Amino acid sequence: MTESARSLTLAAILIIGGLAAGGCRGGESSAAAPKGGGGGKGGQGGGAASLPIKPVHLIMATERSVTRLVTAPGTLAADEQISLGFKVAGRVSRLSIDLGSLVRKGQVIAQLETEDFKSRVTQAEAALQQARVRLGLPSEATDDPNDNRIRIEDTALVRSAKALMEQARLNRDRAARLVREGVQAQAELDRTNSELRVAESRYQDAIEEVRNRQAVLAQRRSELELARQQLSYTTLYAPSDGAVREKKTSVGEYLAAGTPVATLVRLHPLRMRVEVPEREAHGIRVGLPVKVTVNEVAGDFAGRVVRLSPAIQEQSRTLVVEAEVDNQQGKLRPGAFAKAEIQTSTSNGVITIPPSAVVTFAGIQKVYVVKDGKALEKPIVTGRREADWVEVTEGLEAGEAVVDAPGNLVTGQPVNAQE
């Protein structure tokens, strides 16, 4: 090999060695970069701290008394449903109601033809007058209290029979004296004795006849009262306030006694029947307040528990509860679907915060508190929720301040807190 060839070979070796050394130093720098770059948790903390200061509003966790509610769906029903009908048979002459008509207690529902019933009243009055005359009373009834307590001995029939009996007794006594004196024969005494016995029998017959006439008088009074009562039954009145659910007859139709004319439902109060699960039924008792809501009707309606089933239903494991619901304004209708909230008990010292302070992420609920001028997230467990508050069962103490409406606040971010 010549001197120039050796020089070229040595130069090439030196160049290759220099390139290999430079590559090794570059690999070490790449591998060591994560150690010296300030990444990981330290890097994140520095990132949150570098965020701008965010003004936040703090609100205190407060204690309050919370009423335990049992919620159950149910159906509203009329407290009373009455089938109206006449007590007597007749032809309908007037009908003053129709489907949906609102009626008041005592309002006329329907009327039957009354001519036949008025004739019966007139006939009964005439029979009563006849019975009074036969007893020696005035034909027209009076208000004299002695009118209904006439003495049998004072009647004309008994007085006449009594006079004949006394005359026969005097004749018998006279004949007996004359027989003793020998003036008259024994046959005359026997005749007068027979006449006395006949007179006594007629006297007893007269007393029985007067008693019979008294009974007839009482019967005629009852017949007149019955005729007048039947006349009053030709008018059908509403037994209570309510609304007509069904009309079952028309004017001119002949109805037998008891035939339904209309169905009346009572609109106030309504009855609500709900089935409460067994696990929630232990605190329910008669008299508890109930709040009823209907989706189609605005507002809440007050009620109270009035009846409880004595046993749990084995198939559904529920307790049947009935409540009376106030419906004086008539906004609710029987048959509507409703939801009942039964207030069973009251818990004191329940910690609550506004719903806007709660952040939910991946099923985990948390709030933000302020510590050393920075935001700090705090997990919580919530319970009952209402429109303006949320119950916190774990994670907060009463009086602890939390951030209201934190938005995109992150842990470690500087904040300017205002209570």
Is 379 a member of any domain? yes
**Cα gap 83→40, rounded to integer Å:** 83
Please indicate, yes or no, whether residues 224 and 281 belong to a single structural domain of this protein: no
Two tokens, residue 69: 């509610």
β pairing state of 62-78 and 270-277 = antiparallel
pLDDT tens per residue, range 203-219? 999 999 999 998 999 99
Please indicate, yes or no, whether residues 288 and 300 belong to a single structural domain of this protein: yes
Rounded to 5 degrees, what are φ and ψ at 364? -105, 130
Mean pLDDT across 215-235: 94
Cβ partners under 8 Å of residue 222, min gap 6: none
Two tokens, residue 22: 């430079």
Cβ partners under 8 Å of residue 387, min gap 6: 355
**Res 6 pLDDT > 60:** no
Give the residue among 359, 341, 344, 371 at the shortest CA–CA distance from 409.
359
Please say which residue of 346, 362, 378 terminates a domain: 346
Is 102 a member of any domain? yes
pLDDT of residue 148: 57
Is 2 a member of any domain? no
Two tokens, residue 106: 């005592």
Please indicate, yes or no, whether residues 181 and 258 belong to a single structural domain of this protein: no
**Res 19 pLDDT > 50:** no
Mean confidence (pLDDT) of the chain: 83
Residue 276 structural domain: 70-78+267-346
Please indicate, yes or no, whether residues 216 and 253 belong to a single structural domain of this protein: no
Please indicate, yes or no, whether residues 330 and 375 belong to a single structural domain of this protein: no
Please say which residue of 318, 346, 374 terminates a domain: 346
**Res 352 pLDDT > 60:** yes
Please indicate, yes or no, whether residues 255 and 358 belong to a single structural domain of this protein: no
Please indicate, yes or no, whether residues 276 and 342 belong to a single structural domain of this protein: yes
Is 160 a member of any domain? yes
CATH code, 393:
2.40.420.20
**Cα gap 385→408, rounded to integer Å:** 23
pLDDT of residue 41: 40
CATH code, 95:
2.40.50.100
pLDDT of residue 147: 56
Please indicate, yes or no, whether residues 159 and 219 belong to a single structural domain of this protein: yes
CATH code, 308:
2.40.30.170
Confidence band, pLDDT 50/70/90 cuts, at residue 27: very low
Is 223 a member of any domain? yes
- The number of distinct structural domains making up the chain is 4
Alpha carbon distance, N-terminus to C-terminus of the chain = 92
Is 35 a member of any domain? no
Give the residue among 219, 229, 226, 231 at the shortest CA–CA distance from 127.
219
Angle subtended at Cα 57 by Cα 51 and Cα 61, rounded to the nearest 5 degrees: 125
Please indicate, yes or no, whether residues 139 and 197 belong to a single structural domain of this protein: yes
Is 357 a member of any domain? yes
**Cα gap 275→345, rounded to integer Å:** 19
pLDDT tens per residue, range 295-344? 888 888 999 999 999 998 888 899 999 999 988 888 888 888 999 988 87
Q: What is the pTM of this model?
A: 0.56
Please indicate, yes or no, whether residues 121 and 228 belong to a single structural domain of this protein: yes
Please say which residue of 300, 315, 346 terminates a domain: 346
As a whole-number percent, the residues of the chain with pLDDT over 70 amount to: 86
Please indicate, yes or no, whether residues 247 and 278 belong to a single structural domain of this protein: no
pLDDT of residue 142: 58
Is 217 a member of any domain? yes
Please indicate, yes or no, whether residues 220 and 239 belong to a single structural domain of this protein: no
Q: Give the DSSP per-residue string, 255-295.
A: E-TT-EEEEEE--SSEEEEEEEEGGG-TT--TT-EEEEEET
